[in-house]
Each structure stands twice: as C-alpha cells, then as structure tokens.
Amino acid sequence: MKRWQFWLGMAISAILLYKALLGLHLAATWRAIEQANYLWLIPAVLIYFVAVWFRTWRWHYLLRPLGKVPLTKLFPVVCIGYMGNNVYPFRIGELIRSYVLRRRTQISMSASLATIIVERVLDGLVMLLFVFVALPFSPVPPGYRMAVILFSVIFLAALVIFLWLAAQPDKATAAYRWVGERYLPATWHAKLDPLVGRFLTGLHSLRRGEDVLLIFFTSVLIWLTETGKYWLVMHAFPFHVSFLTLMLMNGIVNLATTLPAAPGYVGTFDTPGIGVLVSFNVPRPIATGYTFVLHAALWLPITLLGAYYMWRDQVSWQDFAHASQEAALK
C-alpha cells in the first residue's frame, strides 16, 4: 500500500466508478438486480470453467519446451493465479502463478513469465479481433475509438517484437549484450544475463508458425467461450443484444482491464461495460445491474476455487510476498 502504483490504481478505479454511478437511478438499478433470474448463473459459471480449462491447455502447450506439466497438475496453478489477479492489483496473480509453478516443477519463473506475457499479448489481439469483427454490426461507441486504435498499435508491436525474439534468440542476446555493456552497471550482469536467457527460452513456442496459429486459435476459443457467459447472464435480465454486441463488450472491457486499477478490476471492468450497453439502447439501470452481476459472476467462482487450491496445496500469503523477490532470480 506504500507504493504509488497501488494508489494510482485506486484513483483510476474511483474515477471510473464515479463516472458509472453519476446520475444513475440507484433504486431502479437495485430493482433490476433484485428481479434477475439467477438460475441462468448456473450454466454461465459452468461455461466459464470450460474457458479456464482451455486456458490451462494453452499454458500447457506454451510450457512444453520448458517441461511437460500434466493438465491436472496445472489447472490448480491457473486457478490460484487468477485468484491472485482478483485480490491483488496490477495482475500480480500472473507472478503468483509463475511462482507456484516453480515450487511444483522447478521451471524457472522468468521462463514461465515469458509464456504468460505471450498469453496476455494474444489475449489482447483476440480482444481487438472481437472489436473489429463486430464493427460492421455493432459500431464502437465514439468514446472508445481512440483507445481501440492505441491498443491495436501496442499489441501488434508487442507481437512483432516477441516473434522476432523467438525467431532470432542469438541476435536478441547479442543486442542485449551490446546495450548492457554500454548502459548497464557491471554489477547487474550477474543477475540479468541468466534472466534474459531463461526469458528467451520461454518464447520457444513462438518459433514455429503452426504453433503460433494453434495458440491463437485456442485464444479465440477461450474468449468465445467466455462471451458465452456474457450471453447466458444476459438472459437473467430483461434486455437482449446480439452475440456480436457482447463480443464487442467483452473486447472493450478486457482491453480496459489492462489499465491500473483496484483489486478485482473495479471500475475498469464496469464503466466500459455499462457504456457499451447503453450505447445500444439498453436502459442504464438494467445495463448497470447486468454488468455488476456479470462482474461478480466472473470474480467470485474462480476466486473461491483458487482459494481452495491454495489451502489444499498449503500455499500461504507469505509465499506471495516472496514471489516478486524471486522473479528475477529463479
């Protein structure tokens, strides 16, 4: 809590929540939440865990060059990591996931973190794909167009860089050494040199085009499945929009959650989600009630399951405190 990044995230969440609630008829919103048919949450949660299983398989595939980790062993690690994302700011759960994996398999944190960064880049590209696929049928609200353009540039540039690093590890190492010898203190080299080497090893799965296509296809499947949860939760409320509109909402919401925020993506999830639905003529109280319930349905099940696996595997909160300290060493 002493770090400025924490307070930056809290400030962004507070501003976005204020924007979402400003002028909102709270009684009508509560009535929409109260009258929702929550039986629809049962299939919605089930299909969400299908998406989590697909995420586990994708990570299993990315980790193959580093070691064969059975899916049954990897699934609890993924759940613990996503729980960490929900209770810590700045997606610290990704670091926690890498730390727990190292405890179980001895795969280095820097190498597994490289695979997780690849996941995030591909997820961002799929979110942009959803936005662009939906454009002819569900145009982006004006306030989000510039953000979509900016994210397109960032994620495409990141993909190009990672593909180059994976395809040319020797040149990447040489470029790092050239920069390091000229601009980095000599005392840093003992730690950074092996870290860079392990990170490049973690990008091994991007060296073959067929592997990249398979991982990208799996990412599309993951997010289509998660959009299915949006669609099922929608049936609990008295409104209807197309699946393409929900793809657009999913894309914009998850691009927004890359911004710093309070734990659980407070504000960065809700405000864009409400804004997209309102732009498609969904009454604001209903759009707000739906988005809040959807957010809770995404947050609570994986957090509870991750906490269970954490308890079962005797992972303590103190272990999480050590994760960031070990990231550069393991």
Measuring CA to CA, how many Å separate 158 from each of 82, 120, 153? 23, 10, 9
Tell me whether residue 29 is in a domain. Answer: no
The reply to whether 180 falls in a domain is: yes
pLDDT of residue 321: 64
Any domain includes 25: no
Q: Which pTM was predicted? A: 0.88
Whether 306 maps to a domain, the answer reads: yes
pLDDT value at position 328?
44
d(CA 276, CA 105): 43
DSSP 135-189: TTTSPPPGGGHHHHHHHHHHHHHHHHHHHHHHH-HHHHHHHHHHHHHHHS-GGGH
Residue among 79, 84, 70 at smallest CA distance from 52:
79
Helix (H, G, I), strand (E, B) or coil at 302: helix
CA distance 73 to 204: 22
- Cα distance between residue 82 and residue 88, in whole Å: 10
Across 151-186, b (16+ Cβ under 10 Å) vs e yields bbeebeebbeebbebbeebeebeeebeeebeeeeee
Tally the domains of the chain. 1
Q: Which residue has the tokens 């400003």?
A: 22
Residue 2's pLDDT is 54
pLDDT of 323 reads: 63
Domain of residue 172, residue span: 4-16+36-326
Cα separations (Å) of 25 from 132, 142, 273, 279, 301? 33, 24, 17, 17, 29
Instruction: DSSP for 83-99, please give it.
Output: HHHHHSSTTTHHHHHHH
Residue 21, in any domain of the structure: no
For helices 270-279 and 243-256, angle between their N-to-C axes, nearest 10 degrees: 150
User: Quick one: pLDDT at residue 299?
Assistant: 96
**CA separation (Å) from 64 to 68, 69, 119, 206?**
5, 8, 14, 12
In tens digits, the chain (330 residues) has pLDDT values of: 557 777 888 888 899 888 888 888 889 999 999 999 999 999 999 999 999 999 999 999 999 988 889 999 999 999 999 998 898 877 888 888 998 998 888 888 888 998 999 999 999 999 999 988 887 777 777 777 777 778 888 888 988 898 898 889 889 888 888 888 877 787 777 778 877 888 888 888 888 888 889 999 999 999 999 999 999 999 999 999 999 999 999 999 999 888 888 888 999 999 999 999 998 999 999 999 999 999 999 999 999 999 999 999 887 777 666 665 555 444
Classify residue 215: in a domain, yes or no.
yes
For residue 119, being part of any structural domain is answered with yes
pLDDT for 127 equals 92
Domain annotation covers residue 26: no
